[in-house]
Amino acid sequence: MCILPRGTGVTVHYADYQETRGNNMVFSSIPFLYYFLPCVLILYFMAPRRLKNSVLLLTSLVFYAWGEPRFVLVMLLTILQGYIFGILIERYRDRRAKLCLAVSAAVSLGLLGYCKYADFFIENFNAVTGLSVPLLKVTLPIGISFYTFQILSYIVDVYRGTVPAQRNFINLAAYIAMFPQLIAGPIVRYSDIAAQLEDRTHSVSKCALGIRRFVLGLGKKVLFANTLGELCSTFRESDDRSVLFFWLYAVACALQIYFDFSGYSDMAIGLGKVFGFDFLENFNYPFVSKSVTEFWRRWHMSLGSWFRDYVYIPLGGNRVKKFRWLCNLMIVWFLTGFWHGAAWNFIVWGLFFGVLLIIEKLWFLKVLDKERTGILRHIYVAMVVLFSFVLFDAADISQAFYHISSMFGAGNLPLVTAESLYQLKSYAVILAAGILGATPLVSYGIHKLRERGVFEKLFNAAEPVFLVLLMLVITGYIVDGSFNPFLYFRF
């Protein structure tokens, strides 16, 4: 998995990312879990209510500085401009407000563009013109795509009058820099937590809910995503490939990305609850979708709704002529792909979904609706998603085509080899558990059992024990120095 924008001239594959361990304080690390988090919790709950946001801000800056000390100032200045322009927009409410909005957006997007996309454009410019403009090789600040979008949503919402400008810099900075969601989302809207920044409740039940969510998210990340990541890594290093191995890789890759990202979102939402916040959900079992349209209503929901509210609807949404509407859709999906990384395969990945969504909206959804059992619809979505993640994970377009065509035996690949069969056996349990865990079946089963009185008591008694045992296992994996990258840090 290329997790850095290829346009930077530095292609870091997922398998190599563990080499960067220590440069970010990932949630699934000993420094975070057993040094940073206990300190933060002690400070936070000891602090009087009026200082809680200050504690959150300061500890979030420490968290950020742990990974990228140089970029703390960049983030603070970006927040500061958002703070100032937010107040100015509210004050003027005329053409000057529009100017302030434009300047603030230009600053935020300019910084994002410079850090994330400059080398991509230079590379492509060089390729087209034959020139050799040197690359800038800018280091991408962690989480810049996330906090830029949060600042933009804040400024736009203030401009629209949806929310009042935040007069307290600490509150605004605490919202944007809040460490649970700072570097990998979800993209929390200011409007969703504005009231909670001023006044929020802390309760044992909310805290317990948050802890459970956090530990389960950590489990998804460490036990599922990292283990499946090892399989993907083995595939990439193997010379003994077969059709089976390509399919194994595709499934493992899709599940890894899902558990990695949704696990991180769970941890963010859980930590948010511990600190009294209610972040919106980011994933809702996307793999059970019966159409690509539904898939994107369930996958990375905070990003999808951001593009809907701040790009698609301002462009006119679907209340325009058909051609313009289709253009709007393609613009949104181009940007969605480009947001994920400055490389052509991400753009193609976004456009691929754009085309599919258009096809569905124009006529295919009607065809799908006629399929009563739902089986074909699930197969259709599963295939599309698998191919999309193979494309997403590829180092470049040609590799993506090679991987996808190899899934169908191109190049006279053997169907099965000893190694692929071995890997299938070795990862069978985790793959089966992963597939099951990616559906609501487990949750539904537990819910049904809970409805019976006896099981309700059993689950209540078992939950704390289960969480402690899970933490012990997770700690074992982390202590052993297992494969532990995070995918969405650089997006």
- Cα separation, 274 vs 265, whole angstroms: 14
Nearer to other proteins by C-beta: 379 or 468? Answer: 468
Say if CB 444 and CB 288 are below 8 A apart: no
Residues 168-207 as x/- pattern, contact with other proteins by CB under 8 A: ------------------------------------xx-x
Residue from 28, 78, 227, 302 in contact with other proteins (CB under 8 A) = 227
Nearer to other proteins by C-beta: 131 or 418? Answer: 418
- Residue 221 binds other proteins (CB under 8 A): no
- Residue 67 binds other proteins (CB under 8 A): yes
Active site residue 378: no
- Residue 479 binds other proteins (CB under 8 A): yes
Give the shortest CB-440-to-other proteins separation in angstroms.
22
Residue from 127, 128, 131, 418 in contact with other proteins (CB under 8 A) = 418
- CB neighbours (10 Å) of residue 169? 15
Residues 26-65 as x/- pattern, contact with other proteins by CB under 8 A: ---xxx-xxx-xxx-x------------------------
- Residue 457 binds other proteins (CB under 8 A): yes
- Residue 408 binds other proteins (CB under 8 A): no
Say if CB 248 and CB 235 are below 8 A apart: yes
Nearer to other proteins by C-beta: 75 or 101? Answer: 75
Nearer to other proteins by C-beta: 80 or 458? Answer: 458
The one catalytic residue in 340, 378, 403, 447 is: 340
- Residue 238 binds other proteins (CB under 8 A): yes
| Interface with other proteins: number of residues (CB under 8 A) | 61
Residue from 422, 440, 442, 445 in contact with other proteins (CB under 8 A) = 422
* Amino acid, res. 186: P
Contacts by residues 111-118 (CB-CB < 8 Å, ≥ 24 positions apart) = 111/74, 111/78, 111/144, 111/148, 112/144, 112/145, 112/148, 114/138, 115/139, 115/140, 115/141, 115/144, 116/5, 116/140, 116/144, 116/145, 116/342, 117/5, 117/7, 117/338, 117/342, 118/7
Look-up: residue for tokens 């004050």?
91
Torsion, Cα of 196, 202, 204, 206 (10° steps): 10
Residues 200-219 as x/- pattern, contact with other proteins by CB under 8 A: ----xx-xxx-xx--x----
Alpha-carbon separation of residue 442 from 165, 446, 489 (angstroms): 43, 6, 29
Q: Secondary structure of 128-176 in the HEC alphabet? A: HHCCCCCCCCCCCCCCHHHHHHHHHHHHHHHHHCCCCCCCCHHHHHHHH
Helix, strand and coil in the chain, % to nearest 5 = 75, 0, 25
Q: Which stretch binds other proteins (CB under 8 A): 82-90, 144-152, 382-390, 466-474?
A: 466-474
Classify 75 as helix, strand or coil. helix
Per DSSP, helices labelled H in 275-342 are: 292-298, 301-307, 322-340
Give the shortest CB-34-to-other proteins separation in angstroms.
5
Nearer to other proteins by C-beta: 159 or 486? Answer: 486
Nearer to other proteins by C-beta: 350 or 437? Answer: 437
Say if CB 53 and CB 171 are below 8 A apart: yes
Positions marked catalytic:
340
Q: Which residues sit at the interface with other proteins, rule CB under 8 A?
A: 21-23, 25, 29-31, 33-35, 37-39, 41, 66-70, 204-205, 207-209, 211-212, 215, 223, 227, 238-240, 418-419, 422, 425-430, 433, 456-457, 460-461, 463-464, 467-468, 471-473, 475-482
